[in-house]
Chains A and B, each alone.
Chain A
């Protein structure tokens, strides 16, 4: 609740306020006036960018913390714990969404046959793409642990490329094809569930792409080495989570 905790570090940051205002304008704009939505989006994005840049510098000036009691998690950084707690909340969001889908599907007397609606081949390709991207992130982490920065760069770049490819196939090929077939977001429950769930997943993946893009920037500026690479690990955790969600969505929508 306290807005100016940064005093203790001798630093002010107005970015939290700017982000909040940006998001509020964005939401308000969504309802009353679309340009307002765009404005809010821009404000939020700029503020987030600033935070990323600040975070970049903070990493170097961080002082050693006082001795702590942290049983049983002495070995883990606080960022990593934060990411895990965050992922718990994400699991619950997707858990609720998938449960809602299962609930309406089981309650419906008829449901279109999955393989006739959806392009299983494209879905399969996308699944392989995502799995490979997870592998790239793991390899990137493996390489930087060994001190190999070239391996890190290759791994991150390939993950970024594969993630983008997933979105291109999904938004550029699958969705237009489905919409041509008359399978739209307001065509009934099958459409509603499909677009909302895969849409939310796509938004998560896009956020992951931004994070990996940030890692790439840092990697190419020499920001990581064999002792300092917690960012790669934490973003990796998130990336794998988004990947695993797809492992649930793919069979639920494409196969059964």
Chain B
């Protein structure tokens, strides 16, 4: 959560810079640093850990385990994650500044010749440390889900959210070691003088391959927990099971599987050969099919049902809206021809912010609201929750929708001129950012205040949800088992502590 605020501030800083043409608030190098840190922090230190954090509490409950399989490994994973983030943020304070390469850290810009500052090396080491932390976490979760289910929780009855986390963890297990290997080679380039990424044969393409083999699965690592949350919230709001549950899970599995086969679509413009271009264009189109199936399954869950409008539900609905828009604009880029035209423009920025900031962040915030009564036994203020939602949704669209019209504006550039005709669009986006950002503070405050007020106490199942983490009924016989409150009170303490930190 702390990293969310830091990374969000960097985002606001960028928008401020781009509010008016020829702005001089940040010099180009500082702007590049800001872009890099915003990207890295948001994706790797906010979005995926927030999902994992929720999972850390919910998955054991959903499968009736007392805790994760290896509690100490879990703690180590958390603290290495925390300190790797501290290292990354700290890297900008080293003499010479931090990494200023964009979150993709493309070669040869990442080599010692072009980024001589030691902060950049530290940022890469922070990435490596994060990979270690993530790997620990995925070992832990996979083992837990395979091994620690209580009696009655068979694979067939495994809740959707746990399934989505299992798939996320499998992807993490595949993606992050590649990042670690890339970071290792880059570090040895920068410290020991090897020439993996500065030579002509290795160079930028080698880095691209390694990075995007991690990078594209990472998108799904971020999105899959969000899908799981949306499914849970929709089922509870509509008071029915998921539409075509088995098919849905197979589609989710197909997305997981295909997502490691599409990474080269990030490299259409790097001169890879024609066959590869075609192959990856096809796989990219192919992945959109099961993914659309997932979205349709979610929407049909709601079809003709009596929906109880709540804050989590609204956030998840917004996520569905943005994933559709973000997804459609993404599929267009599966065609290499269009990709040539769009690459490096704000169109792309709009696309991935709709998926990342829209879908994932909305769904995760929705999930936080949804499980808040479970975690803290307190209910947040519903009215303020809905107001928060309205503000953030409007702000979000004012912020990112103009990006689709800014096809002429290149990414990662610190300023633009009056004559480009982009001034009004940029100003609109900045206004949107000022609306979008504070909405999150409101959400945090709302949750934090519910902890203070004794009147907000609630019963164990305020949503009347049917899933096992609420009912405690693991055997499917309608009898609640007693494992429910086994090892959870301590975790609540941690969450309380965390939110108190936020209050400060």
List residues of chain A with CB under 8 Å of any chain B CB. Answer: 1-9, 13, 15-17, 19-21, 23-24, 27-28, 30-32, 51, 65-71, 73, 76, 78, 81-82, 85-86, 88-90, 92-93, 96-97, 100, 103-104, 107-108, 185-186, 188-189, 191-193, 195-196, 200
Contact = CB atoms under 8 A, between A and B. Distances in A.
Interface stretch (B150-158, B233-241, B399-407): B150-158
Most buried by A among B71, B94, B174: B71
Contact of A2 (B74, B139, B176, B177): B74
Contact of B181 (A69, A86, A93, A108): A93
Given A3-B75, A85-B173, A23 B83 contact: yes
A8 B69 contact: no
B490 A196 contact: no
Contact of A70 (B52, B66, B67, B149): B149
Say whether chain B's binding surface is mostly helix, strand, loop, or mixed: helix
B490 A5 contact: yes
Given A2-B491, A5-B68, A90-B177, A189 B75 contact: no
B231 interface: no
Say whether chain A's binding surface is mostly helix, strand, loop, or mixed: helix
A85 to B, nearest CB: 5
A118 B261 CA distance: 37
Interface in B475-499: 483, 486-487, 489-491, 493-495
A24 B146 contact: no
B34 interface: no
Nearest to B182: A96
B493 A1 contact: no
Given A5-B74, A82-B69, A86-B135, 4 more contacts: A16-B75, A69-B153, A71-B155, A93-B177
B4 to A, nearest CB: 13
A184 B151 CA distance: 58
B71 A9 contact: yes
Nearest to A69: B149
Interface of B: 49, 52-53, 56-57, 66-76, 78-84, 86-87, 90, 94, 118, 121-122, 125-126, 128-129, 135, 138-140, 142-143, 146-155, 173-174, 176-178, 180-182, 184-185, 188-189, 191-196, 199, 201-202, 206, 209-210, 213, 483, 486-487, 489-491, 493-495
B122 A27 contact: yes
A185 B148 contact: no
17 contacts: A2-B495, A5-B75, A7-B489, A7-B493, A30-B125, A31-B122, A73-B147, A82-B143, A85-B138, A89-B138, A96-B177, A100-B206, A103-B202, A104-B199, A104-B201, A185-B188, A189-B199
A157 B207 CA distance: 42
A19 B80 CA distance: 8
Contacts of B206: 100, 103-104
Given A8-B67, A20-B80, A24-B129, A89 B135 contact: yes
